[in-house]
Amino acid sequence: MDTMEERAAVRDKDIMMAPAEIRIAPPRGFSRAAYVKNMEEYESLYREAEMDPEGFWARVAGELAWFKPWEQVLDWQVPFAEWFVGGQLNACYNCLDRHISTWRKNKAALIWEGEPGDTRILTYLELYREVCKFANVLKRLGIRPGDRVAIYMPLVPEAVVAMLACARIGAPHTVIFAGFSAEAVRDRVLDAQAKLVITADGGYRRGKVIPLKERVDEALGDDSPANRVIVLQRTGAPVTMRPERDHWWHDLMKDVTASGCPAEPVDSEHPLYILYTSGTTGKPKGILHTTGGYMVGTYYTTKLVFDLKEEDIYWCTADVGWVTGHSYTVYGPMANGATVVAYEGAPDYPEPDRFWKIIEDHQVSIFYTAPTAIRSFMKWGEEWPQRRDLRSLRLLGTVGEPINPAAWEWYNQTIGRGRCPIVDTWWQTETGMIMISPLPGAIPAKPGSGTLPFPGVIAEVVDEGGRPVQPGKKGLLVIRRPWPSMLRGIWGDPKRYQQQYWSQFPGIYLTGDGAVQDEDGYFWLLGRVDDVLNVSGHRLGTAEVESALVSHPTVAEAAVIGRPDEITGQAVVAFVTLRGSIAGDDKLKSDLQDHVGRVIGSFAKPREIKFAAALPKTRSGKIMRRILRKIAVGDPSVGDITTLEDPTLIARLREEED
Ligand code: ATP
Ligand code: MG
């Protein structure tokens, strides 16, 4: 057995029982050079924002370029907020034009790698020219401010070009992850009423070509609102071009220049994009973000949470199909003039060290990924990162799900080699920006905790009646005040917007996540409120039981659900995948039950453990417990599975049930 895992297992036990005791202070050298260097500085920034939120955010907004200054910082008509009212700006201008009037014009904006190994580097000037040209293409095709444009592309430079070109002319984009099916494309194009779809002949994934154009053809019927399609040639896969409707990207680009395309000044509240949530808990919601507040929030959180410096090489592994790719690959980093790395393909292609090779080759200094990826890396083994030089790294981050302390520890030791702070960032498509996270030079980490709220964010844990709960008590995570990059609505569904986020506690944003604060005020995310278990009167977060299971050296991943039970209210059922070639048997089941009993308490012991080859996940890598809940009670319905990664898995899990 691996001694590191043993150590992690022992430490996990402490964390669950006395989380406040384990603190990992930022390395001194890191703090010395950081924007926010210690707790005093964090606290004073936090207090400044708490006492005068509008003054605080206005100061940050002053770091961006505005065509017309705002008249009012915030207009808050519950639950509708407007930020920087009366101001005019352009998101693309802030990401590009602002930099090319300085020496940054020759700085690398994008270092891109395709899955087959092709690379491209675009300077800020080059990216600017491509974006201006493509914005001219969009205008020629009749796209006007306010028209929606769907982008269904692999992660290639042109996807970023397309997003920024839309922003440049004031056309809200809706990016659809390239892994989605034709059906998901149809739903989103219809819901957003997109006039144009930008796609590619295909994209690479694990050496195979995903037929994107073919799926677009399937998705757009004759009645589709989208009557134009632009097709980028990426793979050379054969496609059928429909006359009138379909145009090759390279043909259109031949006929335009980069001139005559100034960034369109738009109102601060002009829609920047619509993006659909991951669909982990139900049907995806079309989240609307607008321009001014969103740019302020993403610009400033990128700078402080990643402590982003001019010379950093910054890599967020999220696809632009997710909000993380919007806020922390494109808008946030580029508003800061950063050098951004992007990679098209799978982390294990051609071999499981691809990410580490990219870090080595491009000297990545900031690396931001998801717990699901980290758990895969753990499963694949330490030898893969060990064979690469990762000394360029100085900061690590995670987002998307609670990170199990055992995975945190692995990330810290195996990737960070114990010298890089880790920022565990909690936020949502809806929040637009990171809300709870360590500031890496200032706030000591506790593995498994997102630590403290970002300045300007008033987060709280409350009970069902909205009353703040004591430290150590579980409750609902809410945000008390509006923040600049908050969602402005669910596209076309104001009722659901009201109902979902603002009806339980009027004027207070309901996140839908459960949390607990410890004595130090640190936030521990427990999972979705819908998923919280109630066993013999004990409220248990899925994250607690799952982290306990993952701290066992045989377990790779775990998903926990509650099954109705006459005696205890709910019985804990755990679906578990095992590491490497370990085979599950009854002995291991009872070992795992005992392990959970030791770590949390015997009431939390899973009644039943089910070994599975894989867990159902969204295409962004989040565990979909709602499907497991149905399988566990033999319910044949499945709900909305348009964002499920591998739909064939459901049948296999059901078979294992029988
Ligand atoms: P849907 O809303 O459609 O069910 P989703 O909530 O998974 O999908 P996203 O907006 O992509 O859609 O994810 C946000 C959620 O991800 C958060 O509400 C939270 O549950 C989880 N999450 C994100 N980051 C973290 C984190 N650092 N720690 C714990 N949970 C996290
Ligand atoms: Mg959600």
CATH: 3.30.300.30, 1.10.3720.10, 3.50.30.30, 3.40.718.10. Which one for 538-657?
3.30.300.30
User: Does residue 3 register a pLDDT over 70?
Assistant: no
Residue 538: pLDDT band (50, 70, 90) is confident
Cα(428) to centroid(ligand 2), Å: 6
Q: Answer whether 281 contacts ligand 1 (Cβ < 6 A).
A: yes
Structure tokens, 361: 């080759």
SS3 category, 314: strand
> Rounded to an integer, what distance in angstroms lies between the CA atom of residue 436 and that of residue 425?
6
> Rounded to an integer, what distance in angstroms lies between the CA atom of residue 143 and that of residue 148?
8
Residue 203: pLDDT band (50, 70, 90) is very high
Q: Whose CA is nearest to atom 18 of ligand 1?
A: 428
| Residues sharing a CB contact under 8 Å with residue 307, sequence separation 6 or more, in sequence order | 30, 34, 35, 36, 395, 439, 440, 441
Q: Answer whether 449 contacts ligand 1 (Cβ < 6 A).
A: no
Cα(511) to centroid(ligand 2), Å: 8
Fold match, 2-91+271-528 / 538-657: no
Ligand 1 nearest atom to the CA of residue 528, by list position:
20
Ligand 1 mutation pick, 283, 429, 485, max ligand atoms within 8 A of CB? 429
Looking at the CA of 278, name the nearest ligand. Answer: 1
Looking at the CA of 282, name the nearest ligand. Answer: 1
Q: What percentage of residues in the chain have a pLDDT greater than 90?
A: 90
User: Does residue 594 register a pLDDT over 70?
Assistant: yes
The mean pLDDT of 570-594, rounded to a whole number, is 94
Residues β-bridged to residue 462? 468, 476
CATH of domain 2-91+271-528: 3.40.50.12780
Q: What per-residue confidence (pLDDT) applies to 17?
A: 38
Residue type, 589: K
Cα(399) to centroid(ligand 1), Å: 8
Ligand 1 nearest atom to the CA of residue 322, by list position:
11
Cα(178) to centroid(ligand 1), Å: 20
Looking at the CA of 528, name the nearest ligand. Answer: 1
Q: Whose CA is nearest to atom 14 of ligand 1?
A: 428
| Residues sharing a CB contact under 8 Å with residue 147, sequence separation 6 or more, in sequence order | 171, 172, 195, 196
Q: Answer whether 425 contacts ligand 1 (Cβ < 6 A).
A: yes
Ligand 1 nearest atom to the CA of residue 512, by list position:
18
> Rounded to an integer, what distance in angstroms lies between the CA atom of residue 472 and that of residue 479?
19
Q: What distances in angstroms separate CA 279 from CA 57, 162, 398, 549, one per listed residue?
A: 31, 25, 20, 25
SS3 category, 17: helix
- Pick from 543, 596, 575: nearest CA to 402: 543
User: Does residue 10 register a pLDDT over 50?
Assistant: no
Cα(481) to centroid(ligand 2), Å: 19
Q: Whose CA is nearest to atom 15 of ligand 1?
A: 428
Looking at the CA of 401, name the nearest ligand. Answer: 1
Q: What percentage of residues in the chain have a pLDDT greater than 70?
A: 97
User: Does residue 18 register a pLDDT over 90?
Assistant: no
Report the Cα 349 to chain-centroid distance in Å. 22
Cα(254) to centroid(ligand 1), Å: 42
Residue 222: pLDDT band (50, 70, 90) is confident
Residue 650 CB neighbour total at 10 angstroms? 18
Q: Answer whether 277 contacts ligand 1 (Cβ < 6 A).
A: yes
- Pick from 573, 513, 562: nearest CA to 534: 562
Q: Provide Rg for the chain, Cα atoms.
A: 24
> If residue 252 lies in a helix (H) or strand (E), which one and from where to where?
helix 249-254
User: Does residue 196 register a pLDDT over 70?
Assistant: yes
Q: Which stretches of 459-515 are DSSP H helices? A: 494-497
Q: What per-residue confidence (pLDDT) applies to 20?
A: 53
CATH: 3.50.50.60, 3.20.20.220, 3.40.50.980, 3.40.1410.10. Which one for 126-261?
3.40.50.980
Q: Answer whether 486 contacts ligand 1 (Cβ < 6 A).
A: no
> If residue 609 lies in a helix (H) or strand (E), which one and from where to where?
strand 608-611
Q: Answer whether 525 contacts ligand 1 (Cβ < 6 A).
A: yes
User: Does residue 71 register a pLDDT over 70?
Assistant: yes
Number of residues assigned to the chain: 658
Give residue limits of the domains in the chain.
2-91+271-528, 126-261, 538-657
User: Does residue 13 register a pLDDT over 80?
Assistant: no
Ligand 1 nearest atom to the CA of residue 429, by list position:
10
Looking at the CA of 477, name the nearest ligand. Answer: 1
> pLDDT for 337-348, tens place per residue?
999 999 999 999
Sign of CA dihedral 40, 43, 44, 45: positive
User: Does residue 11 register a pLDDT over 70?
Assistant: no
3-7, 384-388, 413-417, 447-451: lowest mean pLDDT where? 3-7
Q: Answer whether 319 contacts ligand 1 (Cβ < 6 A).
A: no
> Rounded to an integer, what distance in angstroms lies between the CA atom of residue 299 and that of residue 425?
15
pTM attached to this predicted model: 0.95
Burial class of residue 259 (count of CB atoms within 10 Å of its CB; 0-12, 13-18, 19+) = exposed
Residues β-bridged to residue 453? 436
Q: Is the peptide bond before 79 cis (omega within 30 degrees of 0)?
A: yes
The mean pLDDT of 127-134, rounded to a whole number, is 98
Q: Whose CA is nearest to atom 31 of ligand 1?
A: 401
Residue 203 CB neighbour total at 10 angstroms? 27
User: Does residue 2 register a pLDDT over 60?
Assistant: no
DSSP string over 377-446: HHHH-THHHHTS--TT--EEEE-SSPPPHHHHHHIIIIITTT-S-EEE-B--TTT-S--B---TTTSPB-
Q: Which stretches of 204-248 are DSSP H helices? A: 212-219
Q: Answer whether 642 contacts ligand 1 (Cβ < 6 A).
A: no
Q: Answer whether 400 contacts ligand 1 (Cβ < 6 A).
A: yes
